[in-house]
């Protein structure tokens, strides 16, 4: 993140710094690239801190609020690079990474030559820890996606069933492991959905 102006870099929290680091490295100086930032929990720790301040009667910091919204990292990235390319932030529960890929593919189908996909998350704050349904761990990675070629990865969705495995890992780490391992396929169950990743070889 050395390329980001120090004033903006200081605003990013732990999660944002991870997301921005992989985004910068993945783009490697390219500009005018559409981006999809996807995180299941986003800056929820900042939001919990703000709610705690409000409960004590303290005024909410406008800067703190601006950095707690779900598109905070995407916004900092766009501002720092003075890049007006399309960017968005999304969250879709346990299937956040899959929906991020679907959104990126939609942008490619709509004519974007490349799309930056940034996947990042960390554990929930202590006040919300009882809602965790997997072994949450800090992670961030990015793909620079283009139109499919001979070595494409396919993604399919169907209704969940009893045969679909339920992972104890966050979806982002499951998918990263699949990508790095060279495995032929990955099946993930996320709520009512069964997602199948297949490597075309």
pLDDT digits (tens, 9 = 90+) for 23-69: 999 998 899 999 999 999 988 888 878 888 788 888 877 778 777 78
**pLDDT (tens digit, 9 = 90+) per residue, 177-191?**
999 999 999 999 988
Collect all residues with Cβ–Cβ distance below 8 Å to 16 and sequence separation of at least 6.
43, 67, 72, 73, 76
d(CA 73, CA 4): 12
Length of the chain: 201
Burial of 84-107, coded b for 16+ CB within 10 Å and e otherwise, reads ebebbbbbbebbbbbbbbebbbeb
Q: Please give the helix or strand (H or E) that residue 12 lies within, else none.
A: none
Helical ranges in 59-147 per DSSP H: 62-68, 72-80, 96-109
Distance CA 174, CA 100 (A): 14
CB neighbour list of residue 102: distance below 8 Å, 6 or more residues apart: 155
Q: Please state the pTM of the whole predicted model.
A: 0.89
3-state secondary structure of 131: helix
Q: In this prediction, what percent of the chain has a pLDDT beyond 90?
A: 49
User: Average pLDDT for residues 63-83, to the nearest whole number?
Assistant: 85
Q: Long-range contacts of range 123-126, CB-CB < 8 Å, 24 or more positions apart?
A: 124/41, 124/44, 124/45, 125/44, 125/45, 125/48
């Amino acid at each position: 993140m050395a390329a980001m102006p120090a004033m903006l870099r200081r605003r990013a929290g732990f999660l944002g710094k991870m997301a921005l680091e992989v985004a910068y490295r993945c783009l490697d100086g390219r500009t005018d690239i559409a981006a999809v930032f996807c995180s299941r929990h986003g800056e929820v720790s900042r939001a919990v801190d703000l709610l705690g301040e409000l409960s004590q009667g303290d005024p909410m910091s406008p800067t703190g609020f601006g950095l707690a919204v779900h598109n905070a990292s995407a916004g900092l990235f766009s501002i720092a690079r003075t890049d007006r390319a399309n960017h968005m932030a999304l969250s879709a529960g346990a299937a956040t990474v899959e929906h991020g890929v679907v959104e990126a593919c939609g942008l490619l189908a709509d004519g974007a030559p490349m799309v930056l996909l940034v996947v990042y998350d960390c554990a929930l704050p202590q006040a919300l820890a009882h809602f965790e349904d997997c072994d949450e761990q800090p992670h961030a990675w990015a793909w620079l996606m283009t139109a499919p070629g001979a070595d494409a990865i396919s993604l399919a969705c169907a209704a969940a069933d009893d045969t679909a495995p339920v992972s104890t890992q966050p979806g982002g780490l499951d998918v990263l492991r699949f990508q790095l391992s060279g495995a032929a396929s990955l099946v993930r169950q996320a709520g009512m959905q069964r997602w199948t990743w297949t490597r075309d070889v």
